[in-house]
Amino acid sequence: MTTSPAQADVPSFPTGGRPRVVIVGSGFGGLFAARALAKAPVDITLIGKTAQHLFQPLLYQVATGILSEGEIAPATREILRRQKNARVVLGEVTTIDVDNRTVTSEILGRATVYEYDELIVAAGAGQSYFGNDQFAEFAPGMKSIDDALELRGRIFGAFELAEIATDPAEIDRLLTFVVVGAGPTGVEMAGQIAELARRTLRRDFRSINPTGARVVLLDAAPAVLPSFGKKLGDRARRQLNEIGVEVQLGAMVTDVDADGLEVKDSDGQVRRIQAATKIWAAGVQASGLGRILGEQTGAEVDRAGRISVQPDLTLPGHPEIHVVGDMMALTKLPGVAQVAIQGGRYAAETIKRRATGKAPQPKPFTYFDKGSMATISRFSAVADIGKFKFSGFIAWVLWLVVHLMYIVGFKSRVTTVLHWMVSFLGRGRSERVATQQQVYGRLALEALGNGWEVSKTGGPKNTSPQGGDPTNRESA
Ligand SMILES: Cc1cc2nc3c(=O)[nH]c(=O)nc-3n(C[C@H](O)[C@H](O)[C@H](O)COP(=O)(O)OP(=O)(O)OC[C@H]3O[C@@H](n4cnc5c(N)ncnc54)[C@H](O)[C@@H]3O)c2cc1C
């Protein structure tokens, strides 16, 4: 089979003399930048690798059957349907040519070149396995809808397989769930698996006792939720223990395979945990677009792939290129949604002022920290808001309200509340479906070879497929 050559189309987007703003990424940075430009005299092209805006903080609820993927990932085009100056296109940006001011995006072998006057790059970050990418096969991360649905299948599937297994060691292996990384994502994931086993599935099986499932939360660091400080970290650890999560700190994962993982403790002892389900919630790697921009502009790129931006979020010598969100490195700002949202809005304001002939923004970008939260289980969370540190029920209510505010769209908010009532007031989980395609699809795609690997941030990988299109479809 031969690969059909990528066609290069230059779209004749009607500019009417207005500045053309290209935004890469439909996550928090990209979407909030696009919305902030709604009234600006510019023409926006938002290029997304996926057709949705993903609310990553609730991915763990998709993975554990509380929410459906649609609730946390509305179509970007639907969100922006009334914004006449914005056009949404699907494609993975593979090249940025800063001298010629063009961006090339690809999908299924078709390449499209977009010219820009202003560029906002908000392509986020993927999972990092710290140089051990081979772990990904056995311990998926949680960065995309694909990841969450695959994990859902693996988690619920482990209980199903345990029900029909006869060897006690095999049952123990199937009912052991290991989450690597005790940051907010790992804590929330471990807490939800424990609740799933002890509340939701309590009465669903005949041969096994799901409440006896072992949930282990591992981290090489000596603390849970280190960014929340010692007091809240200790409380979170206690709350996790109360719901039956085993927290193992100072424990570095040195190997992962289909049957379990190898762990090196801080005293140098190496041990093995037999576990069918492993979840990777440690480490991030910024989009490769940072490196592409760094090579052309001389901006520094750190080990995690984040590109250093100037105080106004642009790149040196390129006031027309703005980088925001998880991809940017600026005064050690954390990779959280508010940094991306506020950065996206700041970049939009810079562009708006330039487009309307106003003076530049007088102040550099400053991040207003609204605080951080993590849920442990139903009715229990920790919240770190300025001087105030909450834990337990009050923190959980705060978490609920804040997350509802940021879910995009009225429909999604209503259905999310209904699903939360089913899961938190009752014992149910309405989203327990997982198909074989969801569980095996990623591995099957990777078996097709280079170019068909699913990227760690969701969507197709950067390269065009080699050996032709196995779907036998012509380029759209
Ligand atoms: C599981 C999880 C839980 C989290 N929980 C919290 C939380 O509770 N609170 C909090 O504040 N933060 C949380 N975060 C972090 C937060 O989600 C990120 O900081 C935020 O999403 C960053 O926004 P962004 O716009 O930089 O990137 P993203 O939101 O990741 O968006 C990047 C976008 O770019 C697209 N893209 C990537 N590469 C390309 C390409 N080459 N071409 C075209 N499009 C591309 C992606 O498809 C995506 O749409 C969590 C993250 C995860 C993964």
The whole-number pLDDT of residue 424 equals: 86
Q: What is the pLDDT of residues 295-322, one digit of tens each?
A: 999 999 999 999 999 999 999 999 999 9
The whole-number pLDDT of residue 185 equals: 93
Find the CATH number of the domain harbouring 414: 3.50.50.100
**Burial code of 406-415, b = ≥16 C-beta within 10 A, e = fewer?**
ebbbeebbeb
Give the pLDDT mean for 80-87. 96
Helix or strand holding residue 261 (H, E): strand 260-265
- In a domain, residue 408? The reply is yes
The whole-number pLDDT of residue 386 equals: 82
Where residue 438 falls among pLDDT bands split at 50, 70, 90? confident
Q: Which of 92, 188, 349, 453 is catalytic?
A: 188
Q: Are residues 263 and 396 in the same domain?
A: yes
**Residue that terminates a domain, selected from 320, 355, 390:** 355
Write down the number of H helices and E strands in the chain: 13, 24
Query: What's the total number of domains in the chain?
Result: 3
The residue with greater pLDDT, 385 or 277, is 277
Q: Are residues 13 and 113 in the same domain?
A: yes
Q: Are residues 274 and 396 in the same domain?
A: yes
- In a domain, residue 392? The reply is yes
Find the CATH number of the domain harbouring 21: 3.50.50.60
Q: Are residues 377 and 255 in the same domain?
A: yes
Q: Tell me the CA–centroid distance for residue 69 and ligand 1, in Å.
A: 15
Q: Are residues 235 and 274 in the same domain?
A: yes
Q: Are residues 292 and 247 in the same domain?
A: no
Q: Are residues 258 and 392 in the same domain?
A: yes
- In a domain, residue 84? The reply is no
Asked whether the CA dihedral 10, 16, 22, 26 is positive or negative, the reply is negative
Average pLDDT of the chain, as a whole number = 89
Ligand 1 binding site (Cβ under 6 Å of any ligand atom): 24-30, 47-50, 56-57, 59, 92-93, 122-124, 142-143, 184-185, 287, 289, 325-327, 335-338, 340, 457-459
Q: Are residues 186 and 246 in the same domain?
A: yes
Q: Is the pLDDT of residue 469 over 80?
A: no
Give the pLDDT mean for 396-420. 86
Helix or strand holding residue 286 (H, E): strand 284-286
Report how far residue 116's alpha carbon sits from residue 102's, in angstroms, rounded to the nearest whole number: 6
Contact 135, 218 (CB under 8 A): no
Residue nearest to atom 50 of ligand 1 (CA): 57
Report how far residue 138's alpha carbon sits from residue 149's, in angstroms, rounded to the nearest whole number: 15
- Full residue range of the structural domain in which residue 215 is found: 142-280+371-425
Q: Are residues 386 and 244 in the same domain?
A: yes
* Catalytic annotation present for 150: no
**Residue that terminates a domain, selected from 425, 450, 466:** 425
Q: Are residues 185 and 295 in the same domain?
A: no
Give the pLDDT mean for 87-111. 95
pLDDT above 90 coverage of the chain, percent? 72
- In a domain, residue 361? The reply is no
The whole-number pLDDT of residue 289 equals: 96
Report how far residue 210's alpha carbon sits from residue 171's, in angstroms, rounded to the nearest whole number: 11
Q: Is the pLDDT of residue 10 over 80?
A: no
Q: Are residues 115 and 147 in the same domain?
A: no
Q: Is the pLDDT of residue 459 over 50?
A: no
The whole-number pLDDT of residue 449 equals: 67
- In a domain, residue 173? The reply is yes
- Enumerate the β-bridge partners of residue 391: 382
